[in-house]
Amino acid sequence: MTRDTLEQNQIPVYFVAVLLAAALGLLVPSMAQGLGALVTPAIAVLMYAMFLQIPFLDLREGLSNKRFMSALLLANFILIPLLVWALTRGLVEHPAMLVGALLVLLTPCIDYVVVFTHIGKGDSRLMLAATPILLLLQLLLLPVYLSLMLGSQSGVVVSAGPFVEAFLLLIAAPMLLAVLTTSLARGSKAISVWNDAWAWLPVPAMALVLLVVIGSQITSVVRDIGLLAPVIPVYIGFVLLAPLMGALASRLLGLPSVTARAVTFSASTRNSLVVLPLALALPEDIRGLAAAAVIMQTLVELVGELIYIRLIPALVWPAGR
């Protein structure tokens, strides 16, 4: 099997991982805690594998690409919040789910979106360069959005700690390690061989992330599925409409196809794994259901991403405009 063959068959690999995770989580619930402890290490491994494939000397281009950054910020911090506000109006009578949905849908992903962008033929280098800005702006704007959208229920305190910790563990550490590895590979045949071996791992590593996330959380979602029913149409609506927000922003800024796909993936991919600790830090009377709502979004989004990696390259400027 070649690397190209593995990448071309990634969707079946991911579906097998999802099915295996669901089976393990439901049939052997005692494994959930152990799998939960593997979520952060699994994402870190995935990011390291992905970062090794990216030429970091070109990252400065991301910050100097004003049209890309403008489209990215327009999509994530103007168009998407407007969409989220419209989609969540039906949850006003369900405060726990409303808080959980807002936490996750208002925060753009800063980690595995780079992987999905790469797989979906978008510009992952620009996406990576933008992650610090996305992190900073969501830290600043999330309390504002929550205050506006929750109204009288806005007594939610959002701590920056979980965001910063996730950034250091899931972005900064793997990225610095990848840069160091790449630099050392220039003068070491052994490290060069190491790099070549890791080039095979993005797809298996993504399958591992799916396995540990779904396997560790599926029992909570199944237990509360009746209570979570009102939030499921919201997440499905987001999966369907969020890519349109990214494509609209890209069209307005006249982005070429590869860059437009990066913006579209960013608009469509949320920070579910990072905001889960925020949901768990909410007041006791709403934290359980709010956390379950965040987890449900993860499950819906992962299915959506498997569709995106085929549809976004086919629909977002397929002629290379």
Is residue 57's pLDDT more than 60?
A: no
pLDDT at 320: 58
Using pLDDT thresholds of 50, 70 and 90, give the confidence band for residue 249: very high
Judge residue 200's burial from the number of C-beta atoms within 10 Å of its C-beta, 0-12 exposed, 13-18 middle, 19 or more buried. Answer: middle
How far is it, in rounded angstroms, from Cα 297 to Cα 67? 30
Residues 278/158, Cβ–Cβ less than 8 Å: yes
Q: What is the pLDDT of residues 11-23, one digit of tens each?
A: 788 888 988 998 9
In this model, does residue 80 exceed pLDDT 70?
yes
pLDDT at 152: 65
Closest C-alpha to 166, from 109, 124, 218: 109
Residue 321 in this model has a pLDDT that exceeds 60: no
**Least confident piece of the model among 153-157, 207-211, 246-250:** 153-157
Domains of the chain with CATH codes: 43-315 (1.20.1530.20)
Residue 155 in this model has a pLDDT that exceeds 60: no
The predicted structure's pLDDT at residue 131:
83
pLDDT given for residue 13 in this prediction: 86
pTM, two decimal places:
0.81
For residue 9, the model assigns a pLDDT of 76
SS3 label, residue 276: helix
Q: Helix or strand or coil: residue 270?
A: strand
Place of tokens 């009288």: 152
Q: Which of 54-68, 124-138, 203-217, 244-258 has the lowest mean pLDDT?
A: 54-68
User: How many CB atoms lie under 10 A from the CB of residue 153?
Assistant: 15
- The whole-angstrom separation of Cα 181 and Cα 73 is 32
User: Average pLDDT, whole number, for the chain?
Assistant: 86
Of the pLDDT bands very low, low, confident and very high (cuts 50, 70, 90), residue 177 is: very high
Which position has the higher pLDDT, 83 or 155? Answer: 83
3-state SS string for 108-174: ECCCCHHHHHHHCCCCHHHHHHHHHHHHHHHHHHHHHHHHHHHHHHCCCCCCCHHHHHHHHHHHHHH
What is the mean pLDDT of the segment spanning 82-110?
93
- Which pLDDT value is given to residue 295? 86
Per-residue pLDDT tens for 101-127? 999 999 999 877 888 898 899 998 889
- pLDDT at position 262: 97
Question: What is d(CA 275, CA 162) in angstroms, rounded to the nearest whole number?
Answer: 7
Cα–Cα nearest to 44, from 162, 206, 203, 159? 206
Cα 177–179–184 angle (5° rounding)? Answer: 95
**Nearest C-alpha neighbor of 125 from the set 181, 65, 80:** 65
Residue 183, pLDDT > 90, answer: no
Q: Tell me which of 166 and 316 has the higher pLDDT.
A: 316
pLDDT score of 154 more than 70: no
The pLDDT assigned to 31 comes to 84
pLDDT per residue over 250-261, tens digit each?
999 999 999 999
